[in-house]
Protein backbone atom coordinates (compact mmCIF):
# COMPACT_ATOMS: atom_id res chain seq x y z
CA UNK A 1 0.00 0.00 0.00
CA UNK A 2 1.48 3.40 -0.97
CA UNK A 3 2.62 5.74 1.79
CA UNK A 4 0.07 8.58 1.80
CA UNK A 5 2.87 11.04 2.60
CA UNK A 6 4.24 10.65 -0.95
CA UNK A 7 1.07 9.92 -2.91
CA UNK A 8 1.28 12.14 -6.01
CA UNK A 9 4.67 13.60 -4.99
CA UNK A 10 6.56 14.36 -8.23
CA UNK A 11 10.28 13.62 -8.46
CA UNK A 12 12.57 14.59 -11.35
CA UNK A 13 15.31 11.98 -11.85
CA UNK A 14 17.82 14.01 -13.83
CA UNK A 15 20.25 11.85 -15.83
CA UNK A 16 22.41 11.80 -18.90
CA UNK A 17 23.61 8.83 -20.91
CA UNK A 18 25.57 6.15 -19.01
CA UNK A 19 24.08 6.74 -15.56
CA UNK A 20 24.63 4.07 -12.89
CA UNK A 21 21.55 1.86 -13.27
CA UNK A 22 21.18 0.74 -9.65
CA UNK A 23 21.35 4.35 -8.47
CA UNK A 24 18.28 5.22 -10.52
CA UNK A 25 16.31 1.98 -10.30
CA UNK A 26 16.62 1.36 -6.54
CA UNK A 27 15.55 4.87 -5.43
CA UNK A 28 12.89 5.07 -8.17
CA UNK A 29 11.32 1.80 -7.00
CA UNK A 30 11.35 2.96 -3.36
CA UNK A 31 9.73 6.27 -4.28
CA UNK A 32 7.08 4.64 -6.47
CA UNK A 33 6.29 2.09 -3.74
CA UNK A 34 5.64 5.10 -1.45
CA UNK A 35 3.22 6.60 -4.00
CA UNK A 36 5.54 9.13 -5.69
CA UNK A 37 5.68 9.68 -9.42
CA UNK A 38 9.25 9.63 -10.76
CA UNK A 39 10.00 11.04 -14.20
CA UNK A 40 13.31 10.54 -15.99
CA UNK A 41 14.40 13.99 -17.16
CA UNK A 42 17.16 14.15 -19.76
CA UNK A 43 18.44 16.00 -22.79
CA UNK A 44 18.55 12.63 -24.58
CA UNK A 45 15.41 10.73 -25.60
CA UNK A 46 16.97 7.30 -25.07
CA UNK A 47 19.57 6.45 -22.45
CA UNK A 48 22.05 3.64 -21.92
CA UNK A 49 22.45 2.69 -18.27
CA UNK A 50 25.65 1.26 -16.85
CA UNK A 51 26.32 -1.46 -14.31
CA UNK A 52 29.62 -0.01 -13.21
CA UNK A 53 31.78 -0.62 -16.33
CA UNK A 54 29.33 -2.84 -18.23
CA UNK A 55 26.27 -1.70 -20.20
CA UNK A 56 22.96 -2.10 -18.38
CA UNK A 57 19.44 -1.58 -19.63
CA UNK A 58 18.12 1.06 -21.98
CA UNK A 59 15.69 3.68 -20.70
CA UNK A 60 13.46 6.29 -22.29
CA UNK A 61 13.31 9.86 -21.12
CA UNK A 62 9.90 10.85 -19.70
CA UNK A 63 10.46 14.60 -19.90
CA UNK A 64 12.95 16.38 -22.17
CA UNK A 65 15.22 18.59 -20.07
CA UNK A 66 14.62 21.63 -22.26
CA UNK A 67 10.87 21.44 -21.43
CA UNK A 68 11.21 20.47 -17.76
CA UNK A 69 10.08 23.10 -15.26
CA UNK A 70 11.10 23.05 -11.61
CA UNK A 71 7.61 24.21 -10.65
CA UNK A 72 6.25 20.86 -11.88
CA UNK A 73 8.35 18.82 -9.41
CA UNK A 74 8.51 18.39 -5.66
CA UNK A 75 12.07 16.98 -5.47
CA UNK A 76 15.22 16.17 -7.42
CA UNK A 77 16.96 12.78 -7.64
CA UNK A 78 20.53 12.73 -9.01
CA UNK A 79 21.84 9.21 -9.67
CA UNK A 80 25.56 8.79 -10.24
CA UNK A 81 27.82 7.18 -12.75
CA UNK A 82 31.08 8.81 -13.78
CA UNK A 83 30.07 9.53 -17.38
CA UNK A 84 26.57 10.68 -16.38
CA UNK A 85 27.88 13.06 -13.71
CA UNK A 86 30.56 14.48 -15.98
CA UNK A 87 28.11 15.05 -18.86
CA UNK A 88 25.40 16.66 -16.70
CA UNK A 89 27.76 19.14 -15.04
CA UNK A 90 28.55 20.64 -18.47
CA UNK A 91 24.92 21.20 -19.50
CA UNK A 92 23.63 24.74 -18.80
CA UNK A 93 20.02 23.46 -18.87
CA UNK A 94 20.83 20.83 -16.23
CA UNK A 95 22.58 23.39 -14.04
CA UNK A 96 19.67 25.81 -14.38
CA UNK A 97 17.09 23.13 -13.59
CA UNK A 98 18.99 22.03 -10.47
CA UNK A 99 19.41 25.66 -9.34
CA UNK A 100 15.68 26.35 -9.73
CA UNK A 101 14.76 23.33 -7.61
CA UNK A 102 17.30 24.14 -4.89
CA UNK A 103 16.36 27.84 -4.83
CA UNK A 104 12.71 26.78 -4.42
CA UNK A 105 13.88 24.80 -1.35
CA UNK A 106 12.82 21.47 -2.81
CA UNK A 107 14.64 18.41 -1.48
CA UNK A 108 17.55 16.84 -3.34
CA UNK A 109 18.74 13.22 -3.15
CA UNK A 110 22.17 12.68 -4.71
CA UNK A 111 24.38 9.61 -4.85
CA UNK A 112 27.90 8.86 -6.04
CA UNK A 113 29.03 11.06 -8.97
CA UNK A 114 25.63 12.77 -9.24
CA UNK A 115 27.04 15.53 -7.05
CA UNK A 116 29.20 16.90 -9.84
CA UNK A 117 26.14 18.74 -11.15
CA UNK A 118 25.55 20.38 -7.76
CA UNK A 119 29.24 21.34 -7.51
CA UNK A 120 29.35 22.90 -10.99
CA UNK A 121 26.05 24.69 -10.30
CA UNK A 122 27.44 26.34 -7.16
CA UNK A 123 24.92 24.60 -4.89
CA UNK A 124 27.12 22.94 -2.26
CA UNK A 125 28.66 25.90 -0.40
CA UNK A 126 28.26 25.33 3.34
CA UNK A 127 26.63 21.91 2.87
CA UNK A 128 27.69 18.65 4.52
CA UNK A 129 27.65 15.86 1.92
CA UNK A 130 29.12 12.52 0.95
CA UNK A 131 29.84 10.93 -2.42
CA UNK A 132 32.13 8.50 -4.14
CA UNK A 133 35.50 9.26 -2.49
CA UNK A 134 37.10 10.65 -5.65
CA UNK A 135 34.75 13.66 -5.48
CA UNK A 136 35.85 14.73 -1.99
CA UNK A 137 38.35 17.32 -3.26
CA UNK A 138 35.77 18.74 -5.67
CA UNK A 139 33.25 19.13 -2.83
CA UNK A 140 35.79 20.70 -0.49
CA UNK A 141 37.10 23.06 -3.18
CA UNK A 142 33.49 24.13 -3.86
CA UNK A 143 32.97 25.04 -0.19
CA UNK A 144 31.25 21.92 1.13
CA UNK A 145 32.14 19.70 4.06
CA UNK A 146 32.72 16.20 2.65
CA UNK A 147 32.45 13.18 4.96
CA UNK A 148 32.85 9.46 4.36
CA UNK A 149 29.52 8.10 5.61
CA UNK A 150 26.89 5.74 4.24
CA UNK A 151 24.28 8.51 4.11
CA UNK A 152 24.30 12.18 5.09
CA UNK A 153 21.29 14.41 5.64
CA UNK A 154 21.89 18.15 5.65
CA UNK A 155 18.61 20.03 5.74
CA UNK A 156 16.74 18.97 2.61
CA UNK A 157 19.80 17.36 0.96
CA UNK A 158 20.36 13.59 1.21
CA UNK A 159 23.62 12.13 -0.12
CA UNK A 160 25.25 8.69 -0.31
CA UNK A 161 28.48 7.24 -1.67
CA UNK A 162 27.72 4.18 -3.79
CA UNK A 163 25.25 1.42 -4.74
CA UNK A 164 25.92 -0.49 -1.50
CA UNK A 165 24.49 2.52 0.39
CA UNK A 166 21.15 2.50 -1.45
CA UNK A 167 19.09 0.94 1.40
CA UNK A 168 20.19 3.72 3.82
CA UNK A 169 19.90 6.31 1.04
CA UNK A 170 16.33 5.24 0.24
CA UNK A 171 15.31 5.28 3.91
CA UNK A 172 16.57 8.84 4.44
CA UNK A 173 15.38 10.07 1.03
CA UNK A 174 11.83 8.89 1.78
CA UNK A 175 11.96 10.51 5.24
CA UNK A 176 13.26 13.85 3.95
CA UNK A 177 10.86 13.93 1.00
CA UNK A 178 7.89 13.14 3.27
CA UNK A 179 8.96 15.89 5.71
CA UNK A 180 9.21 18.37 2.82
CA UNK A 181 5.74 17.44 1.70
CA UNK A 182 4.34 17.87 5.22
CA UNK A 183 6.08 21.25 5.61
CA UNK A 184 4.62 22.45 2.30
CA UNK A 185 1.13 21.37 3.35
CA UNK A 186 1.38 23.14 6.73
**CATH code (residue 92):** 3.40.50.880
Q: Classify residue 168: in a domain, yes or no.
A: yes
Model confidence pLDDT, tens digit, residues 114-138: 999 999 999 999 999 999 999 999 9
Q: What is the average per-residue pLDDT within 36-64?
A: 96
Catalytic annotation on 113?
yes
Q: What is the average per-residue pLDDT within 8-15?
A: 97
| pLDDT attached to residue 1 | 39
- State the catalytic residue, choosing from 13, 70, 112, 180: 112
Q: Classify residue 14: in a domain, yes or no.
A: yes
State how far Cα 163 lies from the chain centre.
13
The span from the CA of 90 to the CA of 86, in Å, is: 7
Of 106, 115, 119, the residue nearest 177 (C-alpha): 106
Band the pLDDT of 183: cuts 50, 70, 90. confident
Q: What is the mean pLDDT of the chain?
A: 96
Domain count, the chain: 1
Q: Classify residue 125: in a domain, yes or no.
A: yes
- State the catalytic residue, choosing from 113, 161, 162, 181: 113
Q: Classify residue 156: in a domain, yes or no.
A: yes
State how far Cα 58 lies from the chain centre.
19
Does residue 43 carry a pLDDT above 90?
A: yes
Q: Classify residue 3: in a domain, yes or no.
A: no
Q: What are phi and psi of 55, to 5 degrees?
A: -65, 140
Q: Classify residue 66: in a domain, yes or no.
A: yes
Determine the structural domain holding residue 169 and report its residue range.
10-185
CB 51 within 8 A of CB 19: no
Q: Classify residue 2: in a domain, yes or no.
A: no
Q: Classify residue 4: in a domain, yes or no.
A: no
Band the pLDDT of 2: cuts 50, 70, 90. very low
Cβ atoms within 10 Å, residue 151 = 20
Amino acid sequence: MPNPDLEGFRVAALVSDRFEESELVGPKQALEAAGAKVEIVSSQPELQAMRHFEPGGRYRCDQPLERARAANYDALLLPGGVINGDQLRLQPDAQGFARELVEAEKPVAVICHGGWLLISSGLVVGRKLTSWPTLQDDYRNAGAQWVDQEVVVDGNFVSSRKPDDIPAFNREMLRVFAAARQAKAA
